[in-house]
Amino acid sequence: MVTQVESLNKLTTVVCDTGDFNAIKKFAPQDATTNPSLIYKAAMMEEYASVVDEAVAYGNGDVSVTMDKLAVAFGTEITKIVPGYVSTEVDARLSFDKDATIAKALELIKMYEEVGIKKERILIKIAATWEGIQAAKVLEQFGITCNLTLIFSIAQAIACAEAGCTLISPFVGRIMDWYKKSQGVEGYAAAEDPGVMSVTAIYNYYKKHGHDTIVMGASFRNTDEITELAGCDRLTISPPLLDQLSSTQGSLPLKLDAEKAKAMDIPKIEMTENTFRWMMNEDPMATEKVAEGIRGFAKDIVKLEQIVQDKINAKNKKAGLVREGIRGFAKDIVKLEQIVQDKINAKNKKRRTR
C-alpha cells in the first residue's frame, strides 16, 4: 500500500520548506523554499557553521553583502540536492520599495551566477505588496522568475497573475490561525478550513481564466490541510509534516481539478492598484497577516545580521591579535638586531684600537 506522501506526489509537485540540507536530502523533493526565518534556524545549527563562515569571509566586513551571500550559499547547496527551483528571499524590509527590491534581486542573481548557478534555477521570493508585485513584473521581463509570498487574498493572487509572476505562495495555516482567534474556535474540518478555502478559490480562479502562474500552497499546520489540497500545482511542506505523510498509509483523492475549475462560474476581476488597495482594505485578515509576516521576516533578518556581525567582530579581533603579535615579534627582532649591531660595533672598535 502506498503512503500518503507517495500518493500526493502523483497529484501535486511536493516542495520541501526548509533550509536544512539533510532534511531536503531525506525527502528528495522537486523544489525547495527558504525564508529568513528558516535560514536563521539553519545558521544556528553547528553543522552549517562553515557556510556562515564562508559568507563572512566573502563579505569582507560588509554585513549586507554577507547576508546576501549567506542566502545564496544556502541556496547553492540546495541546488545540488533538488532538480527544480530554489527560492531565495529578498530582504523583507524592502517590501514597500519597488526599485530597491529589483536591485537586490539582481544582486542575488549575480551572486548565483558567480558560482555557476543559472537564473532559471532560482525563484526570487518577494512579499506580495503592491510594490513587490510591480518589482516582480519588471524582473520577470528580464527573465528572472519570482515567487510572490505572503499571499492571503484573491486580490494579491490576481495582481500577481496579471503581472506575469512565475509562482505564488498562498499561506494556509496562517489564515486558519487568524480565523481561529477571530471566531474563537479550536479548529475546522479540512474542507471548511479558511486557509484551504482561500487556496482553492485562487487555484480555481487561475484555471478558469487561464493564468499560468503556479499556485504553491504553503504554511501548513496539519496534514489534513495538505491532503485537502491534493491536486494543487505545488505544495511546500515542512519536514515534520512530510514525516507524518510518509508514515501514514493511504491513497489520496484528487481535490483540486483544473478541468472542473474551467467550467465554474467565476467572474473575472480587472486588477488595478486602486482595486488592489481597496480589496486589501476590506480584508482585515489579509491586511494584518501580510504586515505581520513582513515584520516577522524582518525580525529574523535582524537576528541573523547580529550573528553575522558577531562573526565579523570575532574575525576582526582575531586579525587584530595576529597583527599585534606580528608587531610584537617585529619589535623584538629590532631589539635583537640592535644587540647584534652593538656587539659588531664593539668588536670593530676593539680591532681599531690594536
Residues with catalytic roles: 125
Map the chain to HEC letters: CCEHHHHHHHHCEEEEECCCHHHHHHHCCCEEECCHHHHHHHHCCHHHHHHHHHHHHHHCCCHHHHHHHHHHHHHHHHHCCCCCCEEEECCHHHCCCHHHHHHHHHHHHHHHHHCCCCHHHEEEEEECCHHHHHHHHHHHHCCCCEEEEEECCHHHHHHHHHCCCCEEEEEHHHHHHHHHHHHCCCCCCHHHCHHHHHHHHHHHHHHHCCCCCEEEEECCCCHHHHHCCCCCCEEEECHHHHHHHHCCECCCCCCCCHHHHHCCCCCCCCCCHHHHHHHHHCCHHHHHHHHHHHHHHHHHHHHHHHHHHHHHHHHHHHHHHHHHHHHHHHHHHHHHHHHHHHHHHHHHHHHHHC
Please state whether 60 falls in left (phi above 0), alpha (psi between -120 and 50) or beta.
Answer: left
Could you give the CA distance from residue 11 to residue 254 in angstroms, rounded to a whole number? 7
d(CA 235, CA 221): 13
Query: Which amino acid appears at position 215 of this protein?
Result: V
Whole-angstrom distance, CA of residue 59 vs CA of residue 215 = 35
Q: Distance between CA atoms of 188 and 127, rounded to whole angstroms?
A: 27
